Amino acid sequence: MKKNEKTAELQETADDRNGSLLRIENLEVEFHTVEGIHKAVRKVSYEVKMGETLGVVGESGSGKSVTALSVMQLIQSPPGKIMGGKILFEEKDLLSLSKEEMNHIRGNEIAMIFQEPMTSLNPIHTCGKQIMEPLILHKGYSKSEAYEKALQMMGQVGIPIPRQRMKEYPHQLSGGMRQRVMIAMALVCKPKLLIADEPTTALDVTIQAQILELMKILRKEMNSSIIMITHDLGVVAEMCDRVVVMYDGQIVEVCKVSDLFRHPYHPYSEGLICSIPSIGGTRRKLYAIKGTVPSPYEEKTGCSFAPRCQYAKDICRRQCPEMTDLGNGRLVRCWNYRETGNLMETAKESPEGRGKA
């Protein structure tokens, strides 16, 4: 492995720039609340290439959703505020666009699916009307054209008897059906980028699988890039090409999905992987990362994962590590990345071994 210890910013090789659809650079988002200032996103940079599915993983409160909402500029303000950084979509900085220009991109070129299909659809409009809305808005379709297109889209996302469903209201549909409506609504304008914020979390397990399957098919048909935000590594393994691991508002690791599962470099990623129950594999005790997410209002010195990290040393508590480029598109934010892997080893070696070190 090449140990090319360069600092944070992504390498801008010509190759990268060509394939890049969205590039987030040093994004900082803060929430100003009664309790204090919450730095939800701290200097986050990642990119999404054309046609790729990028997974963003992390616990709730790690800033993964906030980053995505910043791309759409849907952060509630106040209390939220984007403090700095760039969000380049096809080389345009979204943060410098006017409201009108941004409205043209939202729902048209970048679309979003939300976690709660139960509450994310407007209860007083029919499903059909809600799917037709972006078409009329962005593509200038007439009502009847939009109706036909929406109908077709509903069929495409696997909604049975679409003509009937067009007339129905969200409360008449099941959770899975509503999420399909959400997906239809998001994809109806053929966006270049789809941001899916925990699209399956609120659904039953069987429905989850169906929705993931659907998204895979649609990805092929539409050729869109996807940012898949999830806390479920199973979803990442199933869907994604590359993965960004976030912890406490920072990116701690970026790599290919296969690399992450083979050898995670960051202790947090390692913990995440060891806490997945494996089916059919050797029996072992499930690992649990000790401690809890740090308070968002604390001013931190050093690596914010240090209090929960089994590899933590003095330097970890004193100074926050920079992003280390390991080459081959791998980045990790850790002083001790060379030493990680104990957990994976123990898990492999002793079938009934202790989870914790």
Partner 1 sequence: MNVLRYLGRRLVFTVFLLIGVTMMVYIISYMVPSDPVVANLSARNLNNEEMVQAYREKWGLDQPVYKQYFTYLNNLLHGDMGTSLRTERAVMEDLKLYFPATLELSIFGILFAVFFGMLFGIISAIKRNKWVDQILRGVSVLGVSVPVFWMALLLLFVFYLKLGIFPGPGRLSASLTPPVHKTGLYTVDALLMGDIKVFADAFKHLCLPGICMGLFTMGLISRTSRSSLLEVLSLDYIRTARAKGLRERDVIIKHALGNSLISVLTVIGLGFGNLLGGMVLVESVFAWPGIGQYAYKAAQNLDFPAIVGVSLLIALNYVVINIVVDLLYCVLDPRVRYM
Partner 2 sequence: MKNKKSFLKNNTVFQALRTNTLLTIGVVICAIWLFVIIFADYLAPYDPLLQDLSLRLQPPCREHLFGTDSLGRDILSRVLAGSRISIGAGLQCVIISAVAGMLIGGISGYIGGIFDDVVMRIGELFSSFPTIILAMVIASAMGPSLFNTLLTMCIVWWPNYARVMRAMVIQVKSNEYVEASRCLGASRMRIFIREILPNSISSVIVLTTVDFGNAILLFASLSYLGLGSPPPAPEWGAMVSNGAEQFYYWWVATFPGLAILSVSLGANFIGDGIRDYLDPKLRKTIS
Q: Report the interface residues with partner 2, using CB under 8 A.
A: 32-34, 78-79
From the CB of 210, what's the least distance to partner 1, in Å? Answer: 21
* Residue 323: DSSP 8-state: P
Among 119, 142, 282, 295, binds partner 1 (CB under 8 A): 119
On the 0-12 / 13-18 / 19+ scale of CB atoms within 10 A, 229 is buried
From the CB of 343, what's the least distance to partner 1, in Å? Answer: 37
- C-alpha dist (Å) from residue 199 to 34, 112, 183, 251, 336: 31, 10, 9, 21, 34
Residue 194, classed as helix, strand or coil, is strand
> Cβ(227)–Cβ(196) under 8 Å?
yes
> Cβ(233)–Cβ(253) under 8 Å?
no
Among 14, 34, 98, 124, binds partner 1 (CB under 8 A): 124
Binding-site partner at residue 171 among partner 1, partner 2, none, CB < 5 to 8 Å by type = partner 1
Among 125, 262, 338, 354, binds partner 1 (CB under 8 A): 125
β strands within 164-286, DSSP E? 193-197, 225-230, 242-247, 250-256
Which amino acid, 56?
A: V
Our finding on whether 148 is near partner 1 (CB under 8 A) is no
Among 121, 246, 274, 334, binds partner 1 (CB under 8 A): 121
Our finding on whether 72 is near partner 1 (CB under 8 A) is yes
Binding-site partner at residue 74 among partner 2, partner 1, none, CB < 5 to 8 Å by type = partner 1
Question: 2 Cβ partners below 8 Å, 6+ apart?
Answer: 326, 327, 328
* Residue 137: DSSP 8-state: I
Looking at the Cβ atoms of 74 and 312, the one nearer to partner 1 is: 74
Chain residues 172-201 in contact with partner 1, contact rule CB under 8 A: 172, 182, 185-186
From the CB of 149, what's the least distance to partner 1, in Å? Answer: 15
> Cβ(184)–Cβ(153) under 8 Å?
yes
Our finding on whether 97 is near partner 1 (CB under 8 A) is no
Structure tokens at 134: 């972006």
Binding-site partner at residue 228 among partner 1, partner 2, none, CB < 5 to 8 Å by type = none
Question: Could you give phi then psi for residue 40, rounded to 5 degrees?
Answer: -80, -35
Residue 30, beta-bridge partner list: 39, 81
Binding-site partner at residue 34 among partner 1, partner 2, none, CB < 5 to 8 Å by type = partner 2
Q: What is the CA radius of gyration of the chain?
A: 21
Looking at the Cβ atoms of 182 and 274, the one nearer to partner 1 is: 182
Our finding on whether 105 is near partner 1 (CB under 8 A) is yes
From the CB of 118, what's the least distance to partner 1, in Å? Answer: 8
Among 82, 95, 103, 139, binds partner 1 (CB under 8 A): 103
Length of the chain as a residue count:
357
Question: 146 Cβ partners below 8 Å, 6+ apart?
Answer: 132, 135, 136, 139
**Candidates 115-123, 233-241, 315-323, 336-344; binding stretch for partner 1 (CB under 8 A):** 115-123
Looking at the Cβ atoms of 29 and 182, the one nearer to partner 1 is: 182
Our finding on whether 164 is near partner 1 (CB under 8 A) is no
Residue 22, classed as helix, strand or coil, is strand
Structure tokens at 245: 């691991």
Looking at the Cβ atoms of 80 and 199, the one nearer to partner 2 is: 80
Residues that bind partner 1 (CB under 8 A): 72, 74, 76, 99-100, 102-108, 111-112, 114, 116, 119-126, 133-134, 137-138, 169, 171-172, 182, 185-186
